[in-house]
Amino acid sequence: MQIAYREVEGRSPRYWALLGIIGLIALLGLGAAYYMEHHGHIVTGMTNQIVWGMPHVFAVFLIVAASGALNAASIATVFGKSAYKPLARLSGLVAVALLAGGLMVLMLDLGRPDRVIVAATYYNFKSVFAWNVFLYTGFFTFVALYLWTMMDNSVAAYGKYAGFAAFIWRLILTTGTGSIFGFLVAREAYSSALLAPMFIIFSFSYGMAVYLLILIAAYAWTGRPLGDAILHRLGRLLGWFVAAALYFVVVFHMTNLYFTKYHGVERFILVEGGIYTQMFWIGQVLLGSVVPMLILFNGKLRASRGLLVTACLLVVLGGLAQMYVTIIGGQAYPLDIFPGWEERSSFFDGVVHPYHPSLPEFLLGLGGVAVALAIVTIGVKVLRFLPESLADADVGPHAAG
């Protein structure tokens, strides 16, 4: 395959309108962060019981999706599938952009973002959070080097090594993100070694869905040819990722149901949790998993680009629902401070903690999404990330495999 890459001209009113809308949303996110920092978290739905709110839902989703967005590049290099090689550059760009957007939300939600320098210079190596500082910077470094080998012929010979390094590091990164929750033994909804591999397969699903949406949108807006064969392959692969993610969710909850001490939290999430139960069954399972699989595993339905986009959007919404249930639902369930005993005090012991997300929290989360989209939108204009054509005839017969 001889694939020619070319920048997006970015001179049309539509391009500048898109960039303007993205910039406006990013500014609203920054304004929301300033509002919360100036008035304190009292203006949010967060409390001293639920300290991770809606911004963390967006931030963790973006960070997890960043690892999965590198799917196409990893499959091309690590597994030697030539059909994915033309998709690799955009894959790396989207991965870096999503991680940058997620970390922006995470930093601005700290309450004192100016103190991020403390986290970057003083480390408690018993803390998973300290590990993640290295994991995030390492991901940026390895993906940047990987992109360099793809875009500069003088270092192209090192592309396979860079691809392998980026692939291993993305697995380590997502393991670290899942371990943030898995190592929190005080929270019954979290404490599980299964969360690390489960977050890895979540990343494959969410990242592929986001990547497909950006790929389809980029070629539709620029008028460049995008063949059905490559979309057919990516859509089918996304279906398997969604199925694997649902499998891990079933195993996770079945494992907890096996142990008596987790019956309470499982009953809360699966049956009696109100909004958390609804988001789990309707958002995560039905709309985020079952419906997309019905579309993605049916060749005729998957052939419709409108339905393919719908499936990707549902996977993204299901992912946000999953993060909401995991992060906020896990905090809402009361702590079992003295197992086997009943305690009473004025400090909400045994009480399900309420949480109502505020508008600034939503705006901050959307601001992170906007930052990621801005990086991609500007990136494809200034550098050659997009092939001129991904038509079936141009990407070769391997794409239809």
Q: Could you give the number of structural domains in the chain?
A: 1
Structural contact between residues 144 and 95, judged by C-beta atoms closer than 8 angstroms:
no
CATH classification at residue 311: 1.20.1630.10
Per residue in 365-398, pLDDT (tens digit) is 999 999 999 999 999 999 999 999 888 887 765 4
Per residue in 66-92, pLDDT (tens digit) is 999 999 999 999 898 888 999 999 999
Q: Is residue 82 part of a domain?
A: yes
Position 344 scores a pLDDT of: 67
pLDDT mean over 209-215: 97
Which two structure tokens, joined as six digits, stand for 166? 């980026």
Q: Is the pLDDT of residue 346 over 70?
A: no
The Cα–Cα gap between 48 and 261 comes to 25
DSSP result, 24-61: HHHHHHHHHHHHHHHH-GGGSS--SS--S-HHHHHHHH
Which two structure tokens, joined as six digits, stand for 316? 């993204």
Under 8 Å CB-to-CB from 149, ≥6 apart: which residues?
A: 155, 156, 158, 159, 162, 163
Range 259-265 contact pairs with CB under 8 angstroms and sequence separation of 24 or more = 261/188, 261/339, 262/188, 264/188, 264/333, 264/336, 265/188, 265/189, 265/333
Tell me the residue range of the domain where 43 lies.
Answer: 13-336+346-400
Position 9 scores a pLDDT of: 87
pLDDT mean over 44-58: 90
Q: Is residue 45 part of a domain?
A: yes
Q: Is residue 297 part of a domain?
A: yes
Structural contact between residues 321 and 280, judged by C-beta atoms closer than 8 angstroms:
yes
The Cα–Cα gap between 54 and 46 comes to 9
Q: Is residue 87 part of a domain?
A: yes
Q: Is residue 317 part of a domain?
A: yes
Residue in this structure with the two tokens 């690590």, named with its chain if needed: 78
Burial class (CB in 10 A: 0-12, 13-18, 19+), 361: buried
Residue in this structure with the two tokens 């809360």, named with its chain if needed: 268
Q: Is residue 224 part of a domain?
A: yes
Q: Is residue 176 part of a domain?
A: yes
Q: Is the pLDDT of residue 257 over 80?
A: yes
